[in-house]
Amino acid sequence: MRIAVLGGGAMGNVLADMIREREGLELAAMIEPMEGQKPEDAGDIDVIVDFSNPANLDMLLEYCEDRGCPAVIATTGYDDEQIKRIEALGSRVPVVFSANYSLGINVMKRVVAEITPILKDAFDIEIIEKHHNRKLDAPSGTAKMLLAAADGENKYEHVFGREGNRKRGKEIGVHALRCGTIAGEHTVIYAGNDEILEIKHTALSKKIFASGAIKAAAFAAGAKPGFYTMEDVLFGE
């Protein structure tokens, strides 16, 4: 399987190294838009994996539409309109889109969605995420994904950070830390009377995201056109 990687940053390089190491995979190209490179420079490929920047979305969509190329989109920080355009691409080619490609996080998402309806009337819910000091977007796409899992029916106020004096209402708080070299840490806290339940995932390296992206690439390369998530890749839904 020939894979092109869009984005020459830290995550793109980890993914490229993993592709080179794995039997049956070939790195077709590392595409760095900041150096004027384009997906067309990769030649014939089976799938493109995007670990770059939302600013490159137009380039990616145009290429995939013109070439009928499957895409795995792992970039975060998109606005609502951009996400709609990514979803629309799924009507033409296979698209896997997720804020996080690790197995553990996607299992955590499932757990949060299942237990929140059981706990919601007696427990307050808070989400804390931590990342390295070079991450630009906050809160993380993964924190937003966990928030959506906890509030599937959109019945809570979403409070991003807190300041000043106010009573707690029916809300879920989301808090972002940016410090050091933390690869990624997400905690969902359920706090009730005299008991606390915490569900936590810690990424110890970027390799877990690259491994998941390769799994998603194999899925996309053999899938029919459609808009897919990591739940489809991992759990066949």
Report the catalytic residues.
131, 135
Q: If DSSP codes are grouped into helix, strand and coil, which group holds residue 170?
A: coil
Q: Order across the sheet with 26-31: list the strands.
A: 26-31, 2-6, 47-50, 71-73, 94-97, 226-228
Q: Contact at 8 Å (CB) between 37 and 31?
A: yes
132 closest CA partner among 174, 168, 182: 182
Q: Contact at 8 Å (CB) between 235 and 111?
A: no
Q: What is the dihedral of CA 191, 192, 195, 201, to 10 degrees?
A: -30
Q: Contact at 8 Å (CB) between 156 and 170?
A: yes
Name the β-bridge partners of 3. 27, 47
Cα 73 to Cα 55: distance, rounded to the nearest angstrom: 13
